[in-house]
């Protein structure tokens, strides 16, 4: 007795179609699952046995059951194979018809009473199913909306093993595939609970965040406790360009395989905002584990990674950010596998200017000496600062601004300017793979697109020589100047654009080492 079922598995955010082959032969009672299964897959034997017996189907006694998950050289993990294994046994024993089995991919975890529970990674598998021209999927009801995000697939949600067998046996001939309105879901879910209109004062910081959003630049905010650094950072996603549908699909894939997709959410259509605690480990930040899982930088893909209290993070944790910031992805290698996760994010950092926090606060006296401040600032390495384009001071908000009844500018108005600037950059870098914003420019691109007139050259020369700015600030100022020019729709970088960009390099000035 033999049956052949289609299922799927994920490795990273990439999915693979898995063939579940079931062979049953008379012998002593043996139930084996082969094909590089992990522990969760091996445990499916007990869940499948209990579910089949509980629901009244016949489990083959005194038989050797061999389930092969092919291809056998790809590791299989998770509980999604429960349903295809159970259906494979029922099909091999003529309790479920096989006429349409090779036209559908089956996924689902079985409870002991035969009901179906949701699984992780449905969306990547659905994308792979579509790519392989397979007709559709049979999934737990909770995963149907996620699978239906891929157009052209017939998705049938099921609640139990009994219902699945009835569908395969043709008892639900009028059952229609699950359908979602992609445009409606994508439009209604693109909403943020926060807005820049909530922020009182800090107009210079809002401007810096607008520049950062327009050019895709990483930014660090330095200010005393309570000055609003976290509040401002949380609102940065609201002024970034809206996610495209392809970006939303890719972002959702990552959260799906990580098991972090919120209930009843089929698509992540707002830019992610991740804010890990400073006690996080390097593997939790970049991803890791025996079977590597995505870390915070991948969960921030197409969004914002916010590192509050930056100097409090362990040095080795911060240093692992350097390569992903350059490459836009992270590769996690283990002895038996290597998995690549996307990690194209904006990094936003916040920190106090000194250990006590009040070095730049005119209202409170700083209790730190110069040596303590130098030691505190030295926790952030030069190579990491190299990857941060904007440094902005965040002063304490004055009472007059806090008590003001005037409404601040809304995120939508700022976003409109950001989108317009991004469109200029997309035209500039058209046809260049991996080039989406000014922050992606390399040295050659800076020479081509960031040319200055004599007044601009003189201003930049003075900044480098007389204001004590570091050499690494040179390219950063040019990149940011290009973005400021784009915000004003100027084809050339003018002296006033360079002047503003110079103001965003506070950590390069000598005053921080005084």
All domains of the chain, ordered by start, with CATH?
Answer: 2-180 (3.30.230.10), 194-397 (3.40.50.300), 441-514 (1.10.8)
- Tokens 């799927």 sit on residue: 8
In which element (H, E) is residue 158 found? Answer: strand 154-158
Are the CB atoms for 217 and 438 separated by under 8 Å? yes
Task: Per residue of the chain (514 residues), give pLDDT as tens.
Answer: 899 999 999 988 999 999 999 999 988 889 999 998 988 899 999 999 999 999 999 999 889 999 999 998 888 988 999 999 999 999 999 999 888 888 999 999 999 999 999 999 999 999 999 999 999 999 999 999 999 999 989 999 999 999 999 999 988 767 889 988 877 777 665 678 888 998 888 899 999 999 999 999 999 999 999 889 999 999 999 999 998 888 999 999 999 999 898 877 788 888 999 999 999 999 999 998 777 889 999 999 999 999 999 999 999 999 999 989 988 899 888 777 788 999 999 999 999 989 998 887 888 888 899 899 889 988 888 888 888 999 999 998 887 777 777 878 999 999 999 999 999 999 999 888 778 899 989 888 998 999 999 999 999 998 888 877 777 788 899 999 999 999 999 999 999 999 999 999 888 764 444 4
pLDDT for res 185: 74
pLDDT for res 514: 40
Give Cα 451 distance to the centre of its chain: 35
pLDDT for res 189: 59
Q: What is the signed CA dihedral for 258, 260, 266, 269, rounded to 10 degrees?
A: -100
Q: Phi and psi dihedrals of 321, rounded to 5?
A: -80, -20
| pTM of the entire predicted model | 0.89
The tokens describing 507, both together, are 């950590």
Cα 481 from Cα 488, distance rounded (Å) = 11
- Residue count of the chain: 514
CA diameter of the chain: 90
Q: Calculate ∠ Cα 478-484-490, nearest 5°.
A: 100
CB atoms within 10 A of CB 39: 7
Q: Phi and psi dihedrals of 228, rounded to 5?
A: 105, 20
Are the CB atoms for 105 and 17 separated by under 8 Å? yes
């Amino acid at each position: 007795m033999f049956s052949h079922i289609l299922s799927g598995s994920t490795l990273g955010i990439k999915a693979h179609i898995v063939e579940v082959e079931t062979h049953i032969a008379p012998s002593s009672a043996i139930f084996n699952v082969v094909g590089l299964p992990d522990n969760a897959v091996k445990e499916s034997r007990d869940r499948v046995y209990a579910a089949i017996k509980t629901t009244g189907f016949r489990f083959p006694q005194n038989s050797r059951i061999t389930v092969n998950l092919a291809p056998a050289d790809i590791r299989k993990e998770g509980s999604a194979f429960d349903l295809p294994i159970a259906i494979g046994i029922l099909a091999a024993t003529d309790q479920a018809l096989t006429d349409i089995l090779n036209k559908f991919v089956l996924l689902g975890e079985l409870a002991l009473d035969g009901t179906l529970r949701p699984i992780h990674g449905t969306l990547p598998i659905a994308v792979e199913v579509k790519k392989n021209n397979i007709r559709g999927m049979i999934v737990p009801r909770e995963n149907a909306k996620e699978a239906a995000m891929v157009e052209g697939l017939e998705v049938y949600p099921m609640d139990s093993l009994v219902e699945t067998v009835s569908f395969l046996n043709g008892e639900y001939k009028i059952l229609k595939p699950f359908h979602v309105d992609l445009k409606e879901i994508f439009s209604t879910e693109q909403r943020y609970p926060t807005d820049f209109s909530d922020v009182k004062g800090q107009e210079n910081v809002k401007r810096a965040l607008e520049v950062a959003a327009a050019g895709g630049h990483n930014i660090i905010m330095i200010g005393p406790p309570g000055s609003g650094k976290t509040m401002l950072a949380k609102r940065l996603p609201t002024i970034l360009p809206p996610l495209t549908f392809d970006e939303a699909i890719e972002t959702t894939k990552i959260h799906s395989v990580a098991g972090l997709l919120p209930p009843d959410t089929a698509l992540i259509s707002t830019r992610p905002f991740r804010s890990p605690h400073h006690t996080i480990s390097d593997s939790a930040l970049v991803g890791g584990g025996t079977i590597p899982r995505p870390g915070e930088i991948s969960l921030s893909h197409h969004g914002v990674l916010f590192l509050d209290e930056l100097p409090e993070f362990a040095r080795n944790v911060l240093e692992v950010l350097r390569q992903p910031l350059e490459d836009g992805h992270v590769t996690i290698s283990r002895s038996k596998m290597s998995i690549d996760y996307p990690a194209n994010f904006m990094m936003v950092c916040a920190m106090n200017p000194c250990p006590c926090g009040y070095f730049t606060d005119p209202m409170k006296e700083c209790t730190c000496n110069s040596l303590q401040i130098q030691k505190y600032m030295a926790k952030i390495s030069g190579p990491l600062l190299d990857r941060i384009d904007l440094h902005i001071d965040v002063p304490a908000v004055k009472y007059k601004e806090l008590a003001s009844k005037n409404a601040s500018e809304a995120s939508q108005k700022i976003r409109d300017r950001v989108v317009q600037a991004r469109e200029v950059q997309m035209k500039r870098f058209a046809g260049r793979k991996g080039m989406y914003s000014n922050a992606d420019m390399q040295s050659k691109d800076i020479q081509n697109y960031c040319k200055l007139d004599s007044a601009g050259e003189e201003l930049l020369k003075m900044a480098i020589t007389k204001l004590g700015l570091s050499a690494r600030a040179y390219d950063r100022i040019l990149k940011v100047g290009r973005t400021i020019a784009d915000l004003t729709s100027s084809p050339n970088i003018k002296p006033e654009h360079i002047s503003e960009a110079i103001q965003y390099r506070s950590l390069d000035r000598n005053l921080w080492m005084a």
